[in-house]
């Protein structure tokens, strides 16, 4: 496929709304660039077709099943896009005056932020929320900074954060970036064992970060005991709630005793993501941590107007400019109101049901290391097939030939040859069955003709790459 530069023909251009209006009329001449900036010239139709064709070469959830474990997209109804595109929201500017008396036009947007914080408090049982962090990992870093601020305020000397080996990989990274020593605790039978935890607990522990459900898709059933143990050494509990679609409406992390939680609005609450954004990782805290939340904080005046407050002396300060990723917040707000309590509960139930259905149908074809009721996802292993030379990576590649996005492979690290599958709450039974049938077909081929699976993918523009070289010494070509 030719690049847009190769399609360029001098003199071709699109249609301007302000035909005949010289740039000089609205841009001072001294600011106008002199000379050619090297952009291609193409007609509007050429540009539209070019980018439409490029988009069709992309894989997305609008095209086919996307069972990527953990980080997948959950339910992204299209109506939330319409809400987020409303001009009353998109035309706002961050430095508009806030209050109506000052000519502010953003009271509605501030109210959306205020109410979204309240809704997230209700869903999680937390005391207060900040909408600032721009991603899950950013929420984690914010949460760990809140832990540090809390301990500093109390004069506690704390140097360590405990992270189970079944946690998401961003958890230890966030703790380390914030300057803590990360203490890993091995899971026992797939979950955190209070006895093993007690062994690494001491007065220097600032807190513990738990991914729940953990990366094996299992619920951490010892939470109350874990909370009790950490309280004894004045350590805080962090809940990685990126995948809240496994528990929302069923359990509130605040009620269990957690001090900090982050949610991924771009996973559980309606924003499609992938390839790096956009994201939003709001952080909820218990009452004792509220004074440390980042600024600005949206608040309500007595006369019912909303404003962004900056007067919070114990705040950790800014983690993002202004107030976070508003478009993503808006979609989450619309989503929560539209689904309501019953809808959110149904989403959770469907996510868990779908994952367990797939797990059961696959259990005779793949080793499932922790083969019991799972939450929104489960982890299978290709360890048996690997003895025959067919690895998790080969399964992932063979699935590409059948038109799927590959599941997450080789993560979590505690399962060899892991294949992590998250079907989500939205897929129908026919889609799940087709995927399972296709995966079983590949598993059978792995026995009868391992080389055929190892050769996949054969239907894509590129087949097997030296993936290390592709990342380290990228050679771009456009003649695919």
DSSP three-state, residue 467? helix
* Residues 272 to 291 in contact with ligand PLP, rule: CB under 6 A: 279, 281
User: Nearer Cβ to ligand PLP, position 163 or 443?
Assistant: 163
User: Nearer Cβ to ligand PLP, position 174 or 385?
Assistant: 174
Least Å distance between CB 277 and ligand PLP?
Answer: 9
> With binding defined as CB under 6 A, does residue 218 bind ligand PLP?
no
Q: Which of 463, 467, 457, 466 is nearest to 480 (CA)?
A: 463
> With binding defined as CB under 6 A, does residue 296 bind ligand PLP?
no
Write the binding mask 223 to 262 for ligand PLP: x where contact by CB under 6 A, - elsewhere.
-----------------x-xx-------------------
> With binding defined as CB under 6 A, does residue 136 bind ligand PLP?
yes
User: Nearer Cβ to ligand PLP, position 174 or 356?
Assistant: 174
> With binding defined as CB under 6 A, does residue 316 bind ligand PLP?
no
CA-to-CA dists, residue 61 to 57, 186, 424, 438, angstroms: 13, 35, 11, 18
Distance CA(213)–CA(219), nearest Å, equals 5
Candidates 132, 158, 160, 168; binder of ligand PLP (CB under 6 A) is: 168
Q: Which of 406, 469, 474, 468 is nearest to 435 (CA)?
A: 406
User: Nearer Cβ to ligand PLP, position 180 or 239?
Assistant: 239
Helix 170-177 × helix 136-154 angle, to 10°: 40
Place of tokens 């086919």: 64
Q: What number of H helices and E strands is found in the chain?
A: 16, 12
> With binding defined as CB under 6 A, does residue 135 bind ligand PLP?
yes
Write the binding mask 417 to 456 for ligand PLP: x where contact by CB under 6 A, - elsewhere.
----------------------------------------
* Residues 61 to 90 in contact with ligand PLP, rule: CB under 6 A: 70-71
> With binding defined as CB under 6 A, does residue 137 bind ligand PLP?
yes
- Which residue's Cβ has the minimum distance to ligand PLP? 136
Least Å distance between CB 273 and ligand PLP?
Answer: 7
Question: What is the per-residue DSSP string for 277-331?
Answer: ------EEE-GGGGGGSPSPEEEE-TTS-EEEE---TT----SSSTTS-HHHHHH
Structure tokens at 35: 């000379």
> With binding defined as CB under 6 A, does residue 174 bind ligand PLP?
no
What is the strand order of the sheet 260-263 is part of? 128-130, 283-285, 260-263, 236-241, 205-211, 160-164, 181-185
CA-to-CA dists, residue 137 to 173, 177, 301, 474, angstroms: 9, 11, 32, 27
Q: Which of 205, 206, 223 is nearest to 214 (CA)?
A: 223
Segment lying near ligand PLP (by CB under 6 A), choices 56-64, 134-142, 175-183, 389-397? 134-142
> Which residues are near ligand PLP by CB under 6 A?
70-71, 135-137, 168, 170, 211, 240, 242-243, 264, 279, 281
């Amino acid at each position: 496929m030719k690049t847009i530069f190769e399609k360029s023909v001098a003199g071709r251009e699109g249609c301007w709304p302000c035909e005949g209006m010289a740039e000089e009329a609205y841009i001072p001449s001294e600011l106008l660039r002199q000379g050619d900036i090297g952009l291609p010239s193409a007609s509007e139709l050429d540009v539209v077709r070019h980018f439409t064709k490029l988009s069709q070469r992309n894989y997305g959830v609008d095209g086919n099943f996307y069972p990527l474990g953990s980080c997948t997209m959950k339910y992204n109804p299209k109506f939330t896009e319409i809400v987020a595109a409303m001009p009353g929201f998109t035309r706002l500017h961050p430095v508009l005056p806030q209050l109506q008396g000052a000519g502010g036009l953003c009271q509605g947007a501030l109210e959306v932020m205020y109410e979204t914080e309240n809704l997230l408090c209700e869903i999680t049982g937390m005391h207060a929320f900040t909408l600032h962090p721009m991603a899950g990992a950013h929420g984690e870093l914010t949460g760990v900074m809140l832990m540090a601020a809390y301990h500093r305020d109390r004069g506690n000397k704390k140097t360590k954060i405990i992270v189970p080996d079944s946690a998401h990989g961003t958890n230890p990274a966030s703790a380390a970036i914030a300057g803590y020593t990360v203490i890993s605790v091995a899971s026992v039978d797939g979950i955190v064992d209070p006895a093993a935890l007690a062994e690494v607990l001491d007065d220097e522990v600032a807190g513990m970060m738990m991914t729940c459900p953990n990366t094996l898709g299992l619920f951490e059933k010892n939470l109350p005991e874990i909370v009790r143990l950490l309280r004894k050494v004045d350590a805080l509990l962090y809940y990685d709630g990126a995948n809240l679609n496994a528990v929302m409406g069923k359990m509130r992390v605040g009620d269990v005793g957690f001090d900090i939680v982050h949610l991924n609005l771009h996973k559980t609450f309606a924003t499609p993501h992938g390839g790096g954004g956009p994201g939003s990782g709001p952080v909820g805290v218990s009452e004792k941590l509220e004074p440390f939340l980042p600024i600005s904080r949206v608040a309500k005046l007595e006369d019912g107007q909303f404003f962004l407050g900056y007067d919070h002396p114990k705040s950790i300060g800014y983690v993002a400019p202004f107030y976070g990723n508003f478009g993503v917040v808006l979609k989450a707000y619309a989503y929560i109101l539209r689904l309501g309590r019953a809808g959110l509960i149904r989403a959770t139930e469907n996510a868990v049901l779908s994952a367990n259905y797939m797990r059961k149908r696959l259990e005779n074809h793949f080793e499932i290391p922790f083969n019991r009721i799972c939450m929104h996802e489960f982890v299978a292993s290709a360890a048996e097939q690997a003895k025959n030379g067919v690895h998790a990576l080969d399964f992932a590649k063979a699935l590409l030939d059948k038109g799927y996005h590959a599941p997450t492979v080789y993560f979590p690290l505690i399962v060899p040859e892991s294949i992590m599958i998250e079907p989500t709450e939205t897929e129908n039974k026919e889609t799940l069955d087709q995927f399972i049938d296709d995966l079983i077909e590949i598993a059978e081929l792995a026995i009868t003709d391992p080389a055929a699976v190892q050769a996949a993918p054969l239907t894509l523009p590129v087949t097997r790459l030296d993936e290390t070289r592709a990342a380290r010494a990228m050679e771009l070509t456009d003649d695919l």
